[in-house]
Amino acid sequence: MAKILILYASTDGHTIKICERLQQVIEQQGHQVTLVSVNDEFQVDLQTFDKIVIGASIRYGKHSPGITGFINRNKRLLDSKPNAFFSVNIVARKPEKNQPDTNPYLLKFLKQIAWRPRELAVFAGKLDYPKYRFFDRLMIRLIMFITGGPTDPKAVIDFTDWRQVEAFGRLIGAMPL
């Protein structure tokens, strides 16, 4: 049994739901999983975990600065353990942009950091216009209009392929120590 940390940054809560599904799948494999927001990173002893997984959502084309800071501060530790990274973004709803080697946000992020995760995944996120603040709703609708996505201000669409999330969870559980 491995002790696995899933550290995340979530903008609207959907990345947390993905983390919870990963936790379920990994714990079914007999491992212990701890979920921690990047905002609470200093409350955990990273050394006590056998594997570390980091997940982050995208807002306006960028991952959370907190995730980038965490990675930069802990690169040596991350490199010393089995590790993984996943990105959650709406552009991954498109089949030609839903893989680590085709997702522009993940590719851009990997160029900005020195760490090279052993495993990578990209998950399409959730569009939830009613939940967004006025400015965010306006901007996201504009982005969706430009990219051919849904623009109905009442739309709530979960683009996440949950089987893909579960497969990633099994991969994390099976990563050798």
Alpha carbon of 56 to those of 29, 50, 88, 138, 151: distances in Å? Answer: 24, 20, 6, 22, 24
Under 8 Å between Cβ of 174 and 25:
no
Average pLDDT, the chain: 96
Residue 123 confidence class, pLDDT cut points 50, 70, 90:
very high
> In the prediction, which pLDDT does 159 show?
96
| pLDDT at residue 16 greater than cutoff 90 | yes
> In the prediction, which pLDDT does 82 show?
98
> In the prediction, which pLDDT does 60 show?
82
Domain edges within the chain: 3-125+160-174, 127-159
| pLDDT at residue 59 greater than cutoff 90 | no
- If DSSP states are collapsed to H, E and C, what string results for the chain? CCEEEEEEECCCCHHHHHHHHHHHHHHHCCCEEEEEEHHHHHHCCHHHCCEEEEEEEEECCEECHHHHHHHHHHHHHHHCCCEEEEEEEHHHHCHHHCCCCCCHHHHHHHHHCCCCCCEEEEEECEEEHHHCCHHHHHHHHHHHHHHCCCCCCCCEEECCCHHHHHHHHHHHHHCCC
> In the prediction, which pLDDT does 128 show?
95
- Rounded to the nearest 5°, which phi and psi values hold at 35? -100, 130
Alpha carbon of 73 to those of 2, 41, 68, 70: distances in Å? Answer: 23, 11, 9, 5
| pLDDT at residue 122 greater than cutoff 90 | yes
Give the model confidence (pLDDT) of 159-177 as tens digits.
999 999 999 999 999 999 9
> In the prediction, which pLDDT does 61 show?
85
Which CATH number is correct for 3-125+160-174, 3.20.20.150, 3.40.50.360, 3.40.309.10, 3.20.20.70?
3.40.50.360
Residues 123-150: what's their mean pLDDT? Answer: 93
Please give the Cα distance from 107 to 92 (Å, whole number): 12
Report CA 113 to chain centroid distance, whole Å.
Answer: 16
pLDDT exceeding 70 applies to what percent of the chain? Answer: 100
> In the prediction, which pLDDT does 169 show?
98
Give the model confidence (pLDDT) of 75-119 as tens digits.
999 999 999 999 999 999 999 999 999 999 999 999 999 999 999
